[in-house]
Amino acid sequence: MAKRRLQFIPGFSLITIPLGAGLSTLLLVVTIHFLNPDTSSPYPPSKFHEIISLENDSTKVAQSVDDRKSGLFLTNIIRDEELPGKPTSKSQTPLEPNPSQDQSSPPPFTPVPPSPQTPQWTEKLLNHHPKEVMALAHPTNFGDRLATDIQGKPVNNQPIVVLHETVGSAQSAINFFQTPHPNDDMQASYHAIVSLSGTIFYTVPPEKRAFGAGNSAFRSKNGLETVQTNPKISPSVNNFAYHISLETPLSGRNNNNTNHSGYTQSQYLSLAWLIVQTQIPLDRITTHKAVDQSASRMDPRSFSFKRLMNLLQAT
């Protein structure tokens, strides 16, 4: 069974747009997106643009694996502008574990052993068909991926996947992301949330910059990778990161570190299913704890990289 391959590609792209009657046109765009070679999808990019323009429609359900793949094929706008939002009552959702930690040394970086491998469609993933739901964040809680940093230098970092956990329920995180936050200090989001049942909630389009990590950097063979796009905010990995969060089990809610039971098999399957479509190399999959520069983040707690890698690598 052939699977589509979605590739996360930064840079310039030429897109062929069919016009009918054997005609087509070329469009040059600046992009950071998933490229989908499967042209059989009934959702063309223009159709998906209509879907994502509905800011707070949290009930739009994607129909199946093969019914919405071009939904991840979107162009990028390279502007760093504040988006309007109306103040509301203060949200009550805690967003990620931040218990006191030993501050004497920073957390380890990338926990995945260096490897040139890319995720593979293993048999378990070929047979996995997660439910997919659109639950888009308010525009104040995400931004554009920029082509240059604050000094005007080109940004050419390859994408990474950063894993998180919600601490509260998936729905409480979604509610927080859909609440307008004009204040920079309150803005937060992930690109996707994987619930305990394995349902994938898409909260920020992949070509946009989710606010998933504050002061952060990714250590690679190129050294420390981080980008500053706002002079008032610390450098971070957000400009080249795809943020995925796992819903915290009941035993680990509200920063309960004693009885955290870990994540369900459905979550691991859906997480691997989502990652394999990006074709981001395995050595560029990391955690919030690993990239955090404040030594205060611990998520995702009780996470097994071995279980994830077993799903992403053919044996």
pLDDT in tens, 58-67: 333 332 223 3
Sign of CA dihedral 211, 212, 217, 220: negative
| Residue 148 scores a pLDDT above 90 | yes
Residue from 286, 227, 310 nearest 108 by CA: 286
| pLDDT over 70 (residue 156) | yes
* Residue scoring higher pLDDT (283 or 78): 283
> What pLDDT is attached to residue 117?
87
Kind of pairing between the strands at 200-202 and 192-194: antiparallel
The encoded tokens of residue 61 equal 């359900």
Q: Which domains does the chain have, with CATH numbers?
A: 7-312 (3.40.80.10)
Residue 245 is predicted with a pLDDT of 98
What is the SS3 assignment for 232?
A: coil
Q: What is the pLDDT of residue 314?
A: 72
Please list, in sequence order, all residues whose beta carbon lies within 8 angstroms of the beta carbon of residue 163, skipping any fewer than 6 positions away: 244, 245, 246, 271, 285, 286, 287, 288, 299, 300, 303
For position 3, what pLDDT does the model report?
Answer: 47
Condensed to tens digits (0 to 9), the pLDDT of residues 38-59 reads 333 222 222 222 222 233 333 3
In tens, the pLDDT along 86-106 reads 233 334 444 454 433 333 344
Instruction: Share the mean pLDDT of the chain.
Output: 73
Tell me the per-residue pLDDT of 192-225, one tens digit each, with 9 for 90 and over: 999 999 999 999 999 999 999 999 999 999 899 9
Distance of CA 64 to the CA centre of its chain: 20
Model confidence band, residue 184 (pLDDT cutoffs 50, 70, 90): confident
- The per-residue pLDDT for range 106-145, each reduced to its tens digit, is 444 444 444 458 999 999 999 999 999 999 999 999 999 9
Give percent of the chain with pLDDT exceeding 70: 63
Strand, helix or coil for residue 24: strand
Tell me what the mean pLDDT of segment 138-167 comes to: 96
- pLDDT cut 90: percent of the chain above it: 55
Taking the whole predicted model, whether its pTM rises above 0.85 is answered as no
- Under 8 Å CB-to-CB from 50, ≥6 apart: which residues? none
Question: What gap in Å lies between CA 76 and CA 145, rounded to an integer?
Answer: 7
Q: How big is the chain, counted in residues? A: 315
Contact 226, 218 (CB under 8 A): yes
Which has more confidence, 239 or 77? 239
What is the rounded CA–CA span in Å between residue 117 and residue 290? 20
pLDDT grade for 315, boundaries at 50, 70 and 90? low
- Type and span of the H or E element at 113: none
Model confidence at 27: pLDDT above 60: no
Question: Which residue is associated with the tokens 């080249």?
Answer: 240
